[in-house]
Structure 1
């Protein structure tokens, strides 16, 4: 059931729960910052209404109309806060809906880039429920990943606007329409984001907040890349009775040797690699675009071909280059009568955990502690996958994971703690206030 008293009940509970914490730490917030925190709490019912509206619009990446409709919802919110808004269309061949861009210009403080995304993994025919209360938590398509984070951006900026703290600031907001499956080529689908980063000093992204073992929020100062590799193996075809004797081990044994050696010799910290598809035999096809393969072979024939497609995730380019060299060396140690080659393709760049990112996290953590919300620690970079912030991290100090808290992302059980919106918006608003003074 969804009705107004649900919102009021939840919002009041959040306000009461947070009142003691804020009063105990009020001396660490300036009078303006106290007003900002109070505005976030006062607007809690409206924040949940906005989130419900967004979640009930299906915006699967390939539902372009739904992505644009969700974008229009947030564009209205930003326009009401004094931002200039527009929709950035992408070329037809990219086959994506485009992006929301909102800007305001000033001369005061750091120039900020705020990132979110409008799309979800749930396409138009998804059986996953829309907005649904489950006790004190809510479920729905993209409620955690990441429409909750998008609402955090709105609510933080709304609180700043209410106290006049957005005046003379430079803030760019980009909510992409294809984060879950970025359009290709990425030189086009992420061009406007990169250009925005080059005009900014700091980037903040609002993917979901992960809590640590003590229940405190965390921030993301590093994320691993997303890249792919393709292994192509050939062998000398012949009668199976001659395998090993006639100097031919066949393509499948060679592929198995390579993969097992990868497993034993390549692993290191913050690195993962996964062979996601393998096909082998005497006749094979591999449709890379649709990730499909077919094979024909006989048990009495030595296989003459095998193909493996996998992914590789690394934290730094130095790690990438070292691992590429190690994998190539393993591939080159052919079994008799076989040959093999491996190729690599980068997709998302890594977000390296730089000193600048560490310093930004420290400012964010101080804002959280001053608001009575506890310290913010860093998520181990190896625990986060790819995200939009990685395209801008090479250009500016960056911090991710500033959104709401939930669980079950990308599953029918995706859910959110509604109270976390207020906590995240408070931390974010105070952080933005301090960065733009």
Structure 2
């Protein structure tokens, strides 16, 4: 591994890209500690301790604790992700956007520009909602989180949070262009990983005080390594459908018969299903914190991570969104038409409708397997961590994102090294799909 890191710094371009990404992440982490004006940080911290397991806790995880401190980066990159997902779904629903997505690089740039505008609009709406909500929040002693409420505070908060999100969006795009890896993904990764040292320190304190046994910690660490290994194995997993291309003549060129494959990932939907499922289920728990009615708060508590009701709904929503998102992003009919247009066919399957039906059948089975895998990864750790009463929550959604981003970044570094005749970053390991 030391030799691999030395190889990175032997390539000037790769060294520059890695250092640039690290510098941008450092800027992001500094911004996560710059507070928004007009907030009583102590009262806000006490309020967020009561909001663990709600939608606020989920957003705080993605922002690396910036929402809990209400810093200038409190909204994080979530408005940009939400805007991207909205436009991705609109590509299927709105014909004009679908046509734009098929216009190549120019169309892609247009959609990215619309995504930026959507990010700003969502940031303004969320910033206004947060500012109004903060004015009604109180600390444990009844002190106001916002000492001087009013429209001046709301406008200042909206401007600050929107500017922070726009700056993070710019950071992510700069990292993707001039750094290594996907900038937006690395920002989310940094926000998740930034909470690990605090969690480890809290665990050490509980071990020293005797509230937590060393055996339980070792057991959970072993579980984490097992889950990470399972994520790496499945995320690399593919079902490769063989495609044969017959000998054909195009103009004056003759192309010989070729054999290729269509890779279908086991987890086609990625981390979108657990994020959507968590957001929908945690919404009632978040609303319940603001409604002082006993039965409402009881119902809200049953929909927090670790409860059986939450887990049942969570698994059901994950399966639904796995099928829904896969159906939106992958169209077997278009794939079958493209294969037919280029003179290809799947052995034993007729081109056209039979090919699309066959791909759809295989994809349905893979999606079910992927949905079960995501459900196990997301639910099992939360059950065990809740059972052992650990002082931190590092659930499957965070693990899926962190491991996925790590694999993607390592694969990009690997490709840079191999193209320049250096040994790979991971010796003896190929970051390729597994049959």
Q: Same fold (TM over 0.5)?
A: no
* TM-score, scaled to structure 1: 0.26
Structure having the higher helix fraction is: 2
Higher relative CO (Cα under 8 Å, sequence separation at least 6) belongs to: 1
Structure having the higher strand fraction is: 1
